[in-house]
């Protein structure tokens, strides 16, 4: 079974803080993704990576950056957290051409 | 502009009956479609997929139908069970951007005992 692990289930941070969300997958997948899920909006893609050190912007990259130094790890960075970044964040991984497998999510609150 | 639409935010079905969840898309370049199920406090779980060369794919109680001319797909669950109660998302991707999935907004299914 594919295992995608997100480092925190719940996180509370303050406005202006730099926030790191970590994701690790154990299936040697090439692709990794970060989404946010908001009520009524489904899942929206923030960034994805198709190889180590490679990244591409998704649909809503503003205010975020990512890092992929190792194949199994993909980090999402909120450079200066704002209240409108309060959301559920989901990490996923996939083989090329295969379905994406998701972690259990990090519920992030920015106060 | 939503490229993948799930127009029913919720659906309630009696246990043992059929659940039909619908999804419409606008981008004719989409050629790979997926359904995910999501329980509260968990990540989405992949259920079933279909490529555009097929019009039906079946896996146990789950069947996905694709009508390319109508740009419509549906997920049938037969028979429905209370454990199927969850939010269901459809998603689509295009071969030229196969890394990216576009998700619908989800349909909450409640299966009543």
pLDDT for A74-97, tens place per residue?
A: 999 999 999 999 999 999 999 887
**From A51, which residue of chain B is nearest by alpha-carbon distance?**
B99
Mutate to test the interface with B, among A88, A99, A103, A105 (most CBs of B within 10 A): A99
Residue A57 touches chain B, beta carbons under 8 Å? no
**Strand pairing report for B30-38 and B86-94:** antiparallel
Do B43 and A31 count as a contact with CB atoms less than 8 A apart?
no
CA B74 to chain centroid, in Å, comes to 6
d(CA A95, CA A37): 22
* β-pair partners for B57: B64
Compute the average pLDDT of residues A58-77. Answer: 95
In the structure encoding, which two tokens stand for residue A45, read together? Answer: 């893609």
Do A45 and B101 count as a contact with CB atoms less than 8 A apart?
yes
Comparing CA positions, the residue from A45, A82, A49 lying closest to residue A60 is A45
Compute the average pLDDT of residues A37-49. Answer: 90
Comparing CA positions, the residue from A86, A29, A80, A38 lying closest to residue A59 is A38
Q: Closest approach of chain A CAs to the CA of B33, in angstroms?
A: 9
Do B41 and A99 count as a contact with CB atoms less than 8 A apart?
no
Comparing CA positions, the residue from A19, A55, A43 lying closest to residue A91 is A43
Which one of B49, B89, B100 has the shortest CB-CB distance to A99?
B49
Give the pLDDT of residue A66.
97
Contacts of B45 in chain A (CB under 8 A): 102
Contacts of A50 in chain B (CB under 8 A): 99
Do B89 and A40 count as a contact with CB atoms less than 8 A apart?
no
Q: Which SS3 state, helix, strand or coil, does residue A18 take?
A: coil
Token pair 């069947």 is found at B63
**pLDDT tens digits for range B42-100:** 899 999 999 999 999 999 999 999 999 999 999 999 999 999 999 999 999 887 665 68
Round the average pLDDT of chain A to a whole number and report it: 93
């Amino acid at each position: 079974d594919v295992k995608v692990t997100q480092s925190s289930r719940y996180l509370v941070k303050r406005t202006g803080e730099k926030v790191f969300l970590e994701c690790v997958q154990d299936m040697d997948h090439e692709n990794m993704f970060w989404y946010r899920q908001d009520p009524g909006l489904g899942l929206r893609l923030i960034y994805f990576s198709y190889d180590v050190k490679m990244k591409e912007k998704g649909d809503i990259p503003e205010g975020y950056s990512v890092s992929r130094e190792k194949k199994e790890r993909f980090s999402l960075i909120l450079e200066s957290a704002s209240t409108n970044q309060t959301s559920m964040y989901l990490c996923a991984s996939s083989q090329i051409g295969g379905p994406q497998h998701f972690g259990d999510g990090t519920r992030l609150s920015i106060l | 502009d939503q490229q993948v639409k799930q127009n029913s935010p919720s659906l309630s079905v009696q246990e043992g009956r059929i659940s039909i969840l619908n999804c419409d898309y606008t981008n004719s370049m989409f050629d790979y479609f997926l359904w995910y199920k999501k329980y509260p406090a968990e990540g989405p779980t992949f259920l079933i997929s279909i490529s555009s060369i097929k019009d039906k794919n079946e896996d146990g109680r789950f069947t996905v139908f694709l009508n390319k001319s109508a740009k419509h797909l549906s997920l049938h669950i037969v028979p429905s069970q209370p454990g199927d109660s969850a939010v269901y998302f459809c998603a689509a991707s295009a071969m030229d951007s196969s890394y990216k999935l576009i998700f619908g907004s989800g349909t909450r299914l409640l299966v009543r005992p």
